[in-house]
Amino acid sequence: MKKIKKLMLIGVITVIAAISLIACGKKNTDNDIVNIGVTDSLSSVNPLLQDGTEVVKYTTSLVFLPLMELNKDMEFVGQLAKDITTQDNKTFTIHLDENAVWSDGEPVTSEDVVFTYLLWTSPEIGSVGMSMEKIVGTGDDGYAEQGATSLSGVVALDEKTVQITTKSEMALHSFKNIFGRYILTLPKHVLKDVPRKDLLSYDWFNAPTVVSGPYFIRDVDLNHYVTLEANENFFMGAPKIKNLNIKVVTASQLLAGLKSGEIDLVQQTMGAILQEDYDSVRKLDNITVYDGTPVTIQSVFFNTERVTDRRIRQAILYGIDRQTILSDLVKSDGEIVDGFLASAGPFYDDVTPAAYDPDMARQLLSEAEADGWDKSTQYTFYVNSGDTTFVQIASFIAAQLGELGLNIQINTVDISTLLSVAGTGEFDMLAVQYTFTPVDPYTDISWLLSEGGWTRYYNEEVAKALDITQKSTDLDEIIKQYRTVTEYTQQDVPMISAYVISALGAVNNRLKNAVPDVYGTFINVHEWEIAK
């Protein structure tokens, strides 16, 4: 996960790590401290090791602001940048906020942005990702030349204006999502003399002395907590809450933590409240709940280089009773879709999902067996051990498929192992909650449906359709092309959307101006305050 050639996990993976509430170290007996409960452990707080998980993205963004962010209405709003514009979908102009400054008073400048891109594309760092190969001046692997001090595709036009040129057309919403939201600008005047080879392990990031965001990191235990302290010189205004804790707990502890007041806020993609606890959380007198935008998909990916016969993959699709899972096991107001797009997104088209049809599944398996498929083949199904709801569902799926004659071996592993397995391709099936950013599904889909992505699947017609989504400005045309992608996904089944959920967020009533949602929760974190 530390070295990826394509943008990986931009959409968001919701994952769960187990640790006790007490292990975080700070029980909320101090009314000036706000605890954010998360069920994702952190891989790092170094922005150069951005892995696409929400807990890493949002924690690091509290310290080093992104250029832009999505609000709860899925609109891009400025952070370090006032705006990003383009005339041709190849040359993009970043207009930095004139008021943006570092915590030490130095202005945030174009040189900081250029410096950050040099680091991301540096072979010495070896952390290329986030679609750097799309930028002029990089190779197909996303790297610039060894020791490069400039990048032809990233140029400072003046102190507050940066121009980035891509090798091919790229939709503005895709550019804003990838480069606007996930590349966090770093202070050149602080880090320029640090050898690049040392930056990935540079301890300074665990307690940075200069930040652009509303908070400093003061203490880190990646499996337990991140302690944050207000940046009184934050250019948008000093945070009203002086201390925040990112508190790693198990999903089963969220209800108790919310009830006791040990947890003040749960955001939908960082903290996974158990489905069976939803009703109990809704009944808490001290808590206000928010239903998140329904865009998170419980996805099942196939390694198509291992499960090569698409009839087997089709049989698995037809052999899973997704509606029963949604209504009886998940007990959610979600939906069943095929492919990568949920109905809440702007590019969704109403493609009828494949129905549960065990007879069709048996027929497909019989056809495959007649052509030489060995019905004794065992398929490994990797599942996140921390997602207790889906662990149970996986057993239900395996039992259903077992009735059809399929041998499914469930392997429950922690999230770090799961992502490692996904990257190496040592799996037949792999399940994880994945939020495909509705305004930019291209980024995730184009990577996942590629020979280098998790599915190891490539289809020329799919690639053409995705390419058109980046060139066209006609909404109907973009919807048409994504429909093509969905139809091929139905036919070839490189992935299955088990269900789409509307995850629950929650906030203690003592915390004002904080509204948890899939997007936009932390945009106004400096305006949060504790009721007196």
Distance, in Å, from the CA atom of 186 to the CA atom of 358, rounded to the nearest integer, reads 54
Per-residue pLDDT, averaged over 239-251, amounts to: 96
pLDDT over 70 at 216, yes or no:
yes
348-375: pLDDT as tens digits: 998 999 999 999 999 999 999 999 999 9
- Residue 217 sits at the vertex; the CA angle it makes with 102 and 268, to the nearest 5 degrees, is 105
What is residue 35's predicted lDDT score, i.e. its pLDDT? 98
294-331: pLDDT as tens digits: 888 999 999 999 999 999 999 999 999 999 999 888 87
Quote the strand ranges of 368-521, DSSP E.
Answer: 378-384, 407-413, 429-435, 495-501, 504-508, 511-512
Same fold, 11-63+213-292+504-532 and 296-501: no
Distance, in Å, from the CA atom of 249 to the CA atom of 39, rounded to the nearest integer, reads 5
pLDDT over 70, % of the chain: 94
Distance, in Å, from the CA atom of 53 to the CA atom of 42, rounded to the nearest integer, reads 8
The token pair at 172 is 């503005």
Question: Distances from the Cα of 486 to the Cαs of 266, 431, 441, 483, in angstroms?
Answer: 32, 19, 12, 5
pLDDT over 70 at 17, yes or no:
no
Distance, in Å, from the CA atom of 301 to the CA atom of 246, rounded to the nearest integer, reads 30
403-448: pLDDT as tens digits: 999 999 999 998 889 989 999 999 999 999 888 889 999 999 999 9
Going from N- to C-terminal start, the domains of the chain cover: 11-63+213-292+504-532, 65-187, 296-501
108-155: pLDDT as tens digits: 999 999 999 999 999 998 776 788 999 999 999 999 999 899 999 999
What is residue 408's predicted lDDT score, i.e. its pLDDT? 98
What is residue 388's predicted lDDT score, i.e. its pLDDT? 81
Distance, in Å, from the CA atom of 349 to the CA atom of 342, rounded to the nearest integer, reads 9
The token pair at 450 is 């590629």
Element (H or E) spanning 279, and its range? helix 278-282
Beta partners for 299? 432, 497
pLDDT over 80 at 20, yes or no:
no
DSSP letter string, 135-203:
BTTS-TTS---TT-S-BTTEEEEETTEEEEEBSS---HHHHIIIIIHS-----HHHHTTS-GGGGGG-G
What is residue 359's predicted lDDT score, i.e. its pLDDT? 98
Residue 185: count other Cβ atoms within 10 Å of its Cβ: 28
What is residue 387's predicted lDDT score, i.e. its pLDDT? 81
* Residues in CB range of 478: below 8 A, 6 or more apart: 347, 468, 469, 472
Distance, in Å, from the CA atom of 60 to the CA atom of 69, rounded to the nearest integer, reads 13
**Per CATH, the architecture of 11-63+213-292+504-532 is what?**
3-Layer(aba) Sandwich (3.40)
441-474: pLDDT as tens digits: 999 999 999 999 999 999 999 999 999 999 998 9
What is residue 30's predicted lDDT score, i.e. its pLDDT? 53
26-85: pLDDT as tens digits: 444 456 899 999 988 899 999 999 887 889 999 999 999 999 999 999 999 999 999 999
Distance, in Å, from the CA atom of 282 to the CA atom of 278, rounded to the nearest integer, reads 6
Hey, what amino acid is at 250? T
What is residue 512's predicted lDDT score, i.e. its pLDDT? 97
Quote the strand ranges of 4-135, DSSP E.
Answer: 12-14, 33-38, 68-70, 76-78, 81-86, 91-96
Task: Give the CATH class of 296-501.
Answer: alpha beta
Hey, what amino acid is at 246? I
What is residue 6's predicted lDDT score, i.e. its pLDDT? 40
Beta partners for 302? 429
What is residue 24's predicted lDDT score, i.e. its pLDDT? 44
4-13: pLDDT as tens digits: 334 444 444 4
Question: What's the residue count for the chain?
Answer: 532
CB 290 within 8 A of CB 516: yes
Best CA proximity match to 429, nearest among 462, 399, 407: 407
Distance, in Å, from the CA atom of 34 to the CA atom of 226, rounded to the nearest integer, reads 12
Distance, in Å, from the CA atom of 97 to the CA atom of 108, rounded to the nearest integer, reads 8
What is residue 128's predicted lDDT score, i.e. its pLDDT? 64
Question: Distances from the Cα of 96 to the Cαs of 79, 81, 93, 215, in angstroms?
Answer: 9, 4, 10, 20
476-531: pLDDT as tens digits: 999 999 999 999 999 999 999 999 988 899 999 999 999 999 999 999 999 999 99
Fold (topology level) of 65-187:
Dipeptide-binding Protein; domain 1 (3.90.76)
